[in-house]
């Protein structure tokens, strides 16, 4: 290979069109970087507990 390739994972592991679908992504196709968690919920929790408040807007290293 002439350039670096990356394995990209979606945030919804059971329903994401990510590298499991598309394959490796060339470095020059990457246009951004995740900075924080915008929304996080637990689909198995009760109605009032679905939102994971402690993760909202948390920065990503």
pLDDT number for residue 58? 93
Q: What are the pLDDT digits (tens) for 1-49?
A: 677 999 998 877 788 889 999 999 999 999 988 899 888 888 888 888 8
Q: Which residues contact 28 (CB under 8 A, 6 or more apart)?
A: 3
Per the confidence metrics, is the pTM higher than 0.85? no
Q: CA-CA distance, 34 to 48, in Å (whole number)? A: 27
């Amino acid at each position: 290979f002439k350039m670096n390739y990356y394995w990209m994972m979606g945030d919804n592991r059971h329903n994401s069109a990510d590298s499991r679908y598309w394959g490796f992504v060339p470095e020059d196709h990457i246009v951004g970087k995740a900075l924080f968690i915008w929304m996080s919920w637990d689909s198995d929790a009760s109605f009032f507990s679905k939102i994971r408040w402690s993760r909202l807007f948390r920065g990503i290293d």
